[in-house]
Chains A and B, each alone.
Chain A
Amino acid sequence: MSDETQNPLREAIEDAIRSNDVILFMKGTPEQPMCGFSARTAGALQALEVPFAAVDILPDPRIRQELSALSNWPTIPQLFVRGELVGGCDIVTEMYESGELAELLGAEQPNDAAPAEAGQPAPLSIENRLS
Protein backbone atom coordinates (compact mmCIF):
# COMPACT_ATOMS: atom_id res chain seq x y z
CA MET A 1 0.00 0.00 0.00
CA SER A 2 2.59 2.52 1.09
CA ASP A 3 4.68 1.48 -1.92
CA GLU A 4 2.58 3.70 -4.14
CA THR A 5 3.44 6.82 -2.19
CA GLN A 6 7.12 5.90 -2.17
CA ASN A 7 7.46 5.57 -5.89
CA PRO A 8 9.71 8.41 -7.07
CA LEU A 9 8.92 7.93 -10.77
CA ARG A 10 5.19 7.97 -10.18
CA GLU A 11 5.59 11.09 -8.04
CA ALA A 12 7.66 12.78 -10.73
CA ILE A 13 4.96 12.08 -13.32
CA GLU A 14 2.21 13.32 -11.00
CA ASP A 15 4.24 16.42 -10.28
CA ALA A 16 4.77 17.10 -14.00
CA ILE A 17 1.02 16.77 -14.64
CA ARG A 18 0.24 19.07 -11.72
CA SER A 19 2.72 21.76 -12.64
CA ASN A 20 2.02 22.00 -16.38
CA ASP A 21 -1.37 23.23 -17.59
CA VAL A 22 -0.94 21.39 -20.86
CA ILE A 23 1.30 18.34 -20.96
CA LEU A 24 1.64 15.67 -23.61
CA PHE A 25 3.22 12.27 -22.96
CA MET A 26 4.38 10.98 -26.32
CA LYS A 27 6.80 8.76 -28.21
CA GLY A 28 9.64 11.02 -29.28
CA THR A 29 9.48 14.80 -29.18
CA PRO A 30 7.22 17.33 -30.92
CA GLU A 31 10.17 18.13 -33.21
CA GLN A 32 10.96 14.47 -33.82
CA PRO A 33 7.92 12.29 -33.06
CA MET A 34 8.60 8.55 -33.21
CA CYS A 35 5.02 7.46 -33.85
CA GLY A 36 2.29 8.75 -36.14
CA PHE A 37 -0.26 8.99 -33.33
CA SER A 38 2.09 11.08 -31.20
CA ALA A 39 2.91 13.21 -34.25
CA ARG A 40 -0.73 13.95 -34.96
CA THR A 41 -1.53 14.81 -31.35
CA ALA A 42 1.45 17.15 -31.02
CA GLY A 43 0.50 18.60 -34.41
CA ALA A 44 -2.97 19.57 -33.14
CA LEU A 45 -1.45 21.48 -30.22
CA GLN A 46 1.08 23.13 -32.50
CA ALA A 47 -1.67 24.13 -34.95
CA LEU A 48 -3.47 25.88 -32.09
CA GLU A 49 -0.20 27.58 -31.10
CA VAL A 50 -0.67 26.53 -27.50
CA PRO A 51 2.46 26.20 -25.39
CA PHE A 52 2.71 22.69 -23.98
CA ALA A 53 5.10 20.51 -22.06
CA ALA A 54 6.09 17.27 -23.75
CA VAL A 55 7.51 14.15 -22.15
CA ASP A 56 9.18 11.50 -24.28
CA ILE A 57 8.24 8.15 -22.75
CA LEU A 58 10.63 6.08 -24.87
CA PRO A 59 13.90 6.45 -22.92
CA ASP A 60 12.62 4.33 -20.01
CA PRO A 61 9.80 1.75 -20.28
CA ARG A 62 8.89 2.38 -16.65
CA ILE A 63 7.59 5.86 -17.53
CA ARG A 64 4.88 4.32 -19.68
CA GLN A 65 4.05 1.68 -17.06
CA GLU A 66 3.67 4.23 -14.30
CA LEU A 67 1.80 6.72 -16.48
CA SER A 68 -0.74 4.13 -17.65
CA ALA A 69 -1.14 2.83 -14.10
CA LEU A 70 -1.98 6.26 -12.75
CA SER A 71 -4.09 7.47 -15.69
CA ASN A 72 -5.87 4.14 -16.28
CA TRP A 73 -5.29 4.69 -20.00
CA PRO A 74 -3.43 2.00 -21.96
CA THR A 75 -2.03 3.83 -24.96
CA ILE A 76 0.38 6.63 -25.84
CA PRO A 77 0.07 9.59 -26.48
CA GLN A 78 -1.80 11.01 -23.49
CA LEU A 79 -2.77 14.66 -23.21
CA PHE A 80 -3.48 16.23 -19.84
CA VAL A 81 -5.00 19.69 -19.45
CA ARG A 82 -5.08 21.26 -16.00
CA GLY A 83 -4.42 17.92 -14.38
CA GLU A 84 -7.16 16.01 -16.22
CA LEU A 85 -6.61 13.35 -18.87
CA VAL A 86 -8.22 14.62 -22.09
CA GLY A 87 -7.41 11.53 -24.13
CA GLY A 88 -5.15 10.06 -26.76
CA CYS A 89 -4.78 10.68 -30.47
CA ASP A 90 -8.35 9.79 -31.48
CA ILE A 91 -10.06 12.00 -28.91
CA VAL A 92 -7.64 14.90 -29.35
CA THR A 93 -8.00 14.77 -33.15
CA GLU A 94 -11.80 14.64 -32.90
CA MET A 95 -11.80 17.57 -30.46
CA TYR A 96 -9.36 19.53 -32.62
CA GLU A 97 -11.53 19.15 -35.68
CA SER A 98 -14.73 20.08 -33.85
CA GLY A 99 -13.18 23.15 -32.21
CA GLU A 100 -13.62 21.74 -28.70
CA LEU A 101 -9.87 21.52 -28.16
CA ALA A 102 -9.40 25.20 -29.02
CA GLU A 103 -12.19 26.03 -26.59
CA LEU A 104 -10.71 23.89 -23.82
CA LEU A 105 -7.31 25.50 -24.27
CA GLY A 106 -8.58 29.03 -24.76
CA ALA A 107 -6.97 29.11 -28.19
CA GLU A 108 -8.22 30.34 -31.51
CA GLN A 109 -9.38 27.72 -33.99
CA PRO A 110 -7.35 28.10 -37.19
CA ASN A 111 -9.50 29.03 -40.19
CA ASP A 112 -7.99 26.15 -42.02
CA ALA A 113 -8.87 23.44 -39.51
CA ALA A 114 -7.68 20.63 -41.70
CA PRO A 115 -6.78 17.42 -39.89
CA ALA A 116 -3.62 18.12 -37.93
CA GLU A 117 -0.43 16.66 -39.30
CA ALA A 118 2.84 17.34 -37.58
CA GLY A 119 5.87 18.33 -39.58
CA GLN A 120 6.90 16.96 -42.95
CA PRO A 121 4.19 18.20 -45.29
CA ALA A 122 6.48 17.49 -48.23
CA PRO A 123 6.20 13.67 -48.43
CA LEU A 124 2.43 13.93 -48.05
CA SER A 125 2.07 16.26 -50.99
CA ILE A 126 4.18 13.91 -53.09
CA GLU A 127 1.85 11.05 -52.17
CA ASN A 128 -1.14 13.20 -53.04
CA ARG A 129 0.23 13.96 -56.46
CA LEU A 130 0.75 10.30 -57.19
CA SER A 131 -2.73 9.24 -56.22
Chain B
Amino acid sequence: MATSMATKEELKARIEAAIPGASAEVRGDDGHHFEAVVTAPTFAGLSRIAQHRLVYDVFDGELGGRIHALALQTKAD
Protein backbone atom coordinates (compact mmCIF):
# COMPACT_ATOMS: atom_id res chain seq x y z
CA MET B 1 0.00 0.00 0.00
CA ALA B 2 1.22 3.43 -0.93
CA THR B 3 -0.14 5.09 2.20
CA SER B 4 -0.64 3.24 5.43
CA MET B 5 -3.67 3.89 7.57
CA ALA B 6 -3.20 6.44 10.32
CA THR B 7 -3.68 5.27 13.90
CA LYS B 8 -4.30 7.12 17.13
CA GLU B 9 -1.03 5.72 18.46
CA GLU B 10 0.86 7.20 15.51
CA LEU B 11 -0.77 10.61 15.95
CA LYS B 12 -0.08 10.63 19.69
CA ALA B 13 3.58 9.70 19.17
CA ARG B 14 4.12 12.30 16.45
CA ILE B 15 2.49 15.12 18.42
CA GLU B 16 4.46 14.30 21.56
CA ALA B 17 7.72 14.01 19.62
CA ALA B 18 7.24 17.32 17.81
CA ILE B 19 5.98 19.59 20.59
CA PRO B 20 8.26 19.89 23.62
CA GLY B 21 6.65 18.62 26.82
CA ALA B 22 3.36 17.82 25.10
CA SER B 23 1.03 15.07 26.18
CA ALA B 24 -1.70 14.02 23.78
CA GLU B 25 -4.89 12.02 24.22
CA VAL B 26 -5.98 10.81 20.80
CA ARG B 27 -9.21 9.02 19.98
CA GLY B 28 -10.46 7.59 16.70
CA ASP B 29 -10.34 4.09 15.29
CA ASP B 30 -11.49 4.45 11.68
CA GLY B 31 -8.07 5.48 10.34
CA HIS B 32 -9.34 8.82 9.04
CA HIS B 33 -11.14 10.79 11.75
CA PHE B 34 -9.43 11.62 15.01
CA GLU B 35 -9.96 13.72 18.10
CA ALA B 36 -7.04 14.96 20.11
CA VAL B 37 -6.64 16.81 23.37
CA VAL B 38 -3.12 18.19 23.53
CA THR B 39 -1.59 19.70 26.66
CA ALA B 40 1.78 21.43 26.43
CA PRO B 41 3.57 24.06 28.50
CA THR B 42 4.71 25.76 25.28
CA PHE B 43 1.08 26.72 24.58
CA ALA B 44 1.10 29.18 27.49
CA GLY B 45 0.46 32.71 26.29
CA LEU B 46 -0.39 31.65 22.73
CA SER B 47 -3.76 32.29 21.10
CA ARG B 48 -5.91 29.27 20.29
CA ILE B 49 -5.10 29.81 16.63
CA ALA B 50 -1.38 29.65 17.36
CA GLN B 51 -1.78 26.58 19.58
CA HIS B 52 -3.76 24.72 16.94
CA ARG B 53 -1.27 25.72 14.23
CA LEU B 54 1.55 24.11 16.21
CA VAL B 55 -0.37 20.82 16.18
CA TYR B 56 -1.49 21.12 12.56
CA ASP B 57 2.14 21.74 11.56
CA VAL B 58 3.02 18.27 12.81
CA PHE B 59 0.80 16.85 10.05
CA ASP B 60 1.70 19.30 7.32
CA GLY B 61 -0.01 18.29 4.08
CA GLU B 62 -1.70 15.23 5.58
CA LEU B 63 -4.77 16.96 7.02
CA GLY B 64 -7.69 16.69 4.67
CA GLY B 65 -5.83 13.91 2.87
CA ARG B 66 -4.48 10.87 4.67
CA ILE B 67 -5.89 12.24 7.92
CA HIS B 68 -9.35 13.37 6.94
CA ALA B 69 -10.18 15.19 10.14
CA LEU B 70 -8.46 16.02 13.39
CA ALA B 71 -10.74 17.62 15.96
CA LEU B 72 -8.51 19.50 18.32
CA GLN B 73 -8.56 20.88 21.81
CA THR B 74 -5.41 22.46 23.23
CA LYS B 75 -4.49 23.39 26.77
CA ALA B 76 -1.45 25.07 28.27
CA ASP B 77 -1.35 23.23 31.59
Contact = CB atoms under 8 A, between A and B. Distances in A.
Interface of A: 37, 72-76, 85-91, 94-95
Contacts of B73: 90, 94
Interface string B50-76: 001100100010011000011111000
A80 B72 CA distance: 19
Contacts of B14: none
Nearest to B65: A74
5 tightest A-B CB contacts, nearest first: A74-B63, A91-B48, A90-B72, A74-B56, A90-B71
Interface of B: 48-49, 52-53, 56, 60, 63-64, 69-73
Contact of B48 (A72, A74, A87): A87
Contacts of B53: 72-73
A73, A74, A88 — most chain B CB neighbours (10 Å): A74
A90 B49 CA distance: 10
20 contacts: A37-B69, A72-B53, A73-B49, A73-B53, A73-B56, A74-B56, A74-B60, A74-B64, A75-B56, A75-B69, A87-B48, A87-B49, A88-B52, A90-B52, A90-B71, A90-B72, A91-B48, A91-B49, A94-B73, A95-B48
Contacts of A88: 52
A61 to B, nearest CB: 11
